[in-house]
Structure formats: C-alpha cells, structure tokens
Amino acid sequence: MTDLLVLRVVVKLLIPFILLFGLYVQMHGDYGPGGGFQAGVIFGSGFILYGMVFGLETMERVAPMRLIGVMIGLGVLIYAGTGYVTMALGGLFLEYGLLDHHDPSHGQHYGIFSVEAGVGITVASVMILIFHTFASRKG
Amino acid sequence: MVVALTIVWLRNMFAVVMLSGIYSFLMASIFVVLDAVDVAFTEAAVGAGISTVLGLTALSLTTEREKTPRHRPFLPLFVVAVTGAVLLYVTPDMPSFGDASAPVHHHVAPRYIEDSIPATTVPNVVTAVLASYRGYDTLGETTVIFTAGIGVVLLLGRRRKKQQEGEK
Amino acid sequence: MSLLGHYNYWIVVVLMMVGFYVVIDRGNLLKKLIGLNMFQTAVFLLYISMGKIEGGTAPIIWEGGGPYSNPLPHVLILTAIVVGVATLALGLGLVVRIREAYGTVEEDEIREQDDP
C-alpha cells in the first residue's frame, strides 16, 4: 500500500467512475463505440488500479483470485452456452434470431448482449488475474 | 514515428515502457482520425493502459538497463532496409488512401452496413459484425484470451508451492 | 495524387521496419517484445487505413449518415488488439521465468550460459 494520501484519496474517488464507465461501455456497445472487449479492459483496469494503490491483499479481499479464476471460465461458458441454447431451440450454433419467438431481430439483440457479457467477463477477469500473478511474484 | 525511433535508441527500459505507452496513445488518436472509433477505444485502454502496467510490473521483476549489443548492427540493418525497400516497391500497386472504389469496400462490407439494421437492430456495425456475423471468430478469440490467462498463471503462479517445498 | 495517395503505406512500412529492426537486432528480450508490439501496431494501422473512405464517418448508423468507413477491418483489429495484449502478457511471463532461471534477459548471455 502506498503512503501518499493524495494518491489514495484520488484513486478512491476515481474507481467508482471507472467501474461505472466500464459498465456503460458494456451496455451501450450496441449504440456507440464500445463492447465487451473494451468494457472488460476498463473494468479490469479499475481493479488493477485498486490493487496497485491499496496493495494486493486488499485487492484479494475484494476480488478473491479463486473467484476470478472461475469467472474466466464462466465468460467463455456464457458465450458458448448462448450457442448451445440456440441449438437447443432448434437452430444453428449462435443463431440468435431464435431467442425471441415474436421478433427475430429482438432475439439478435439478446444474443449479442449475452455474448458481449461473456466476452466482457472473460477479458476483465483475465486482466485482473494476469496483473495479480505478475505482481504477487515480486515478494 | 519520432517516438518509435526514440524507443530504439533509449536503453533505459523504464523510459522505453513509458514511451511505448505514449506511442499507443498516439496510435489511438490516429485511429480516431481514420474513423475507427471502436479500435481507438480499445487501443487507448489496452495499449496505453494495461500494456504499460504489465510492462512496468515485468520490469520490476527484471533488469532496468539494457546492455549495449556486442555485435555490429550492419547485417540486421541491411535485412531491414531490403525488406522495407521491397515493401515500398509494391505499394504503388495498392489502392490509394481513402479511395471508395478499392476492392476492400466491395466484397462483404456493403452488405454488413446495409443489412445490419434490419437484421440485428444494432446501429453500431462493428458490434453487430463482431458479435453476430462473425460470432465464431469472436468465440475463438475469447478462448485465446482464456488460454493466455491460464498460460500466465501456469508460468508464474507456482511460486508459493515451490517456496513451501524449499522450506521443508 | 497517384504517388502521394499511398502515404499511409509508407508510414506503415517505416513503423513496421523499426519494429522489425528492434526484434532482430536488440538482445534484450523485453525490448524485443516491445518491438514486436510496434510491428503489430503497424499492421493494425495498415488494416485501418485500408478501411478508410474519403469523407466517410465512423460506422455507427444514424439517419442521414454516410458514407461509412468499412467496418470489417475494425472488427478484425479490435479483437487482434485484445488478443495481442494477452499474448504480450504471456511473453512477459516467459521473460520473467527466463530471468529467474538465467539471471539475465540478454540473449547473448543466455546463449553463453547454455554452451560455455
């Protein structure tokens, strides 16, 4: 943990906004620039900033590495799972149109959303995990 | 480009890592000028943010100063010059910059732009293509990231166990 | 126009060659990785500049918009950047391991230790 008070206060103020911005980019990726990859990186960098300033132990309390490891797999699972759900509905792998009975384009929307969520979860947790493994090796 | 050349000359690795962050950031602004907002976004977040942090943490685990190479730089310079000359020689055959009639713009791209609203109701074509039209690709790329994460953990994450064994 | 119209390729070639030079000439493995990164960014620039249309806007569709720049290269490069940082992290991990095993990240010294 760093002793610089200014740094700690400023970072504490910034982190909620970074995480919020990450979520905004994730949700708003359909309409403006953004999407799962960018959102994941921004979200992950919020945690990385926290870990850099407040120390790895504090970071581990917020985001236990066991959980992060599960999240990595979960993201890929959500992505591939979306594909299998559409297959179970009688379509092809990742054929989103079937996710909504009335309007295929709504189904597309749901499909893209869940796929992007999967990408975002994987990217964010991989970034956090990579940083943690690098930084915890210092000791 | 000036930044890129400075990276080559500097031997202090700390400055090099910081400069490569600046380089990524400049690259991101170039991407904005070239209309690729999504890409610029990613480059700014990834290149200037995460890469610099990773570089610095890796730096703290290795040495900071680069040693002067003992061999002469002429052979590599020659190879680079020849490759560059060949690449420059073929550029006049490429379509010129900003040309709307270039072959890149006539294969599937117009279809993506025209059909993505009726087919997916998503205005951002990049997202539509990324997640819907090229869904398999993106699944593969997510898996690559997944694998890279596992690789880093396998390479670096075993230390605690070894230390315990050493203590025994 | 005919010759000056290709200036984007010249910039790409120069950047690419700078990265290439760093990769093959410098002995420091960390520096090699940064050179590789520069090479990679040059390729990104090549793709993105090919997708640009004169007078085009970003490919986010709105009424009355257009012409739009080609979205396909953007998609390819977007994923390539993120995959690039993942592989960069993997490379850095390897460098750290090499440093721990050999005590150096200079190529020449590693080779000397391997066959004295």
Query: What is the rounded CA–CA span in Å between residue B28 and residue B43?
Result: 6
Query: What is the rounded CA–CA span in Å between residue A87 and residue B66?
Result: 54
**Residue C91 belongs to domain spanning:** 4-114
- For residue B118, the chain A residue with the least C-alpha distance is A105
DSSP B158: T
Query: What is the rounded CA–CA span in Å between residue A10 and residue A108?
Result: 41
Per-residue pLDDT tens over the stretch A32-81 = 677 778 888 888 888 888 888 887 777 778 778 788 888 888 888 888 88
Q: Do B120 and A109 touch (CB under 8 A)?
A: yes
Q: What does the pLDDT read at residue A117?
A: 85
With 0-12 CB in 10 A as exposed, 13-18 as middle and 19+ as buried, what is A131? buried
CA-wise closest residue to B65 among B143, B10, B23, B114: B10
B40 by DSSP, 3-state: which? helix
With 0-12 CB in 10 A as exposed, 13-18 as middle and 19+ as buried, what is C102? middle
What mean pLDDT do residues C102-107 have? 74
CATH code of the domain covering residue C89: 1.10.287.3510
Which site among A130, A133, A134, A136 would you substitute to test the C interface, given the most C Cβ atoms closer than 10 Å to its Cβ?
A130
Identify whether the C-beta of residue A25 lies closer than 8 Å to the C-beta of residue A34: yes
Q: Do A94 and B135 touch (CB under 8 A)?
A: yes
CA-wise closest residue to C108 among B65, B118, B67, B108: B67
Query: What is the rounded CA–CA span in Å between residue C51 and residue B36?
Result: 9
B:48-107 residues touching chain A, CB 8 A cutoff: 49-50, 53-54, 57-58, 60-61
Q: Is residue B131 in a domain?
A: no
Q: Do C44 and B39 touch (CB under 8 A)?
A: yes
Per-residue pLDDT tens over the stretch A103-120 = 666 777 777 788 888 888
SS3 of B68-112: the string is CCCCCCHHHHHHHHHHHHHHHHHHHHCCCCCCCCCHHHHCCHHHH
What total of structural domains would you count in chain B? 1
Per-residue pLDDT tens over the stretch C24-58 = 777 777 778 888 888 888 888 888 877 777 666 66
CA-wise closest residue to C32 among B25, B74, B58: B58
Q: Do A131 and B54 touch (CB under 8 A)?
A: yes
Range name among A2-11, A33-42, A113-122, B103-112 with the lowest pLDDT average: B103-112
Q: How far is CA B124 from the centre of its chain?
A: 22
- For residue A35, the chain B residue with the least C-alpha distance is B127
ipTM for the whole complex: 0.75
3-state helix, strand, coil in chain C (%, to 5): 75, 5, 20
C94 at interface of A, judged by CB pairs closer than 8 A: no
Q: Is residue B40 in a domain?
A: yes
**Residue B34 belongs to domain spanning:** 1-67
Q: What are phi and psi of B109, to 5 degrees?
A: -60, -45
Q: Kindly tell me if the per-residue pLDDT of B126 is higher than 50.
A: yes
Cβ-count burial C56-74 (b if 16+ within 10 Å, e if not): bebbbbeeeeeebbbbbbb
What total of structural domains would you count in chain C? 1
Q: Do A37 and C79 touch (CB under 8 A)?
A: yes
C2 at interface of A, judged by CB pairs closer than 8 A: no
Confidence of residue C1 (pLDDT cuts 50, 70, 90): very low
CA gyration radius for chain C?
A: 20
Q: Do A123 and C79 touch (CB under 8 A)?
A: no
A31 at interface of B, judged by CB pairs closer than 8 A: yes
Identify whether the C-beta of residue A2 lies closer than 8 Å to the C-beta of residue A8: yes
